[in-house]
Amino acid sequence: MSSNTDLVAYVQESEFDTLLSEEKVVVVDFTATWCGPCRLVSPLMDRLAEEYKGHVKVIKVDIDNNKPIFKKFGLRSIPAVLIFKDSELATTIIGVSPYEQFSSAIEKLL
């Protein structure tokens, strides 16, 4: 198995809409290097990517490099995890949450 770091790729705004249209369920972790709580969410995203491999695409967006996309969804704080189904925003989870909150949100969409 490869290292966990490449399970969840960083995505730029230009790739974002394409990904949403290509994948059935997409989990987007809005994050930043300076955000302490985001570091607590990161291993959970790796676990989601591993557990739902082939069913769900998990990606990260660095808000410092992609401010418009962050604003587009009316986000004001991070960590923020948005879950999309068929290009539509289905669930928003703000702040540090237990793994089960993310996984149960995904289960509902599969």
Beta bridge partners of 89: 84
Active-site hit among 38, 58, 63, 78: 38
Alpha helix positions (H), 1-110 = 13-22, 36-51, 67-72, 99-109
HSE toward the beta carbon, residue 27, CA cutoff 13 A:
34
Q: Is 70 a catalytic residue?
A: no
Q: Which of 8, 11, 27, 35 is catalytic?
A: 35
- Count of beta carbons in the 10 Å neighbourhood of residue 6: 9
The one-letter code for the residue type at 11 is: V
Q: Which amino acid does the sequence have at 99?
A: Y
Respond yes or no: is residue 16 known to be catalytic: no
Q: Which residues are catalytic?
A: 35, 38
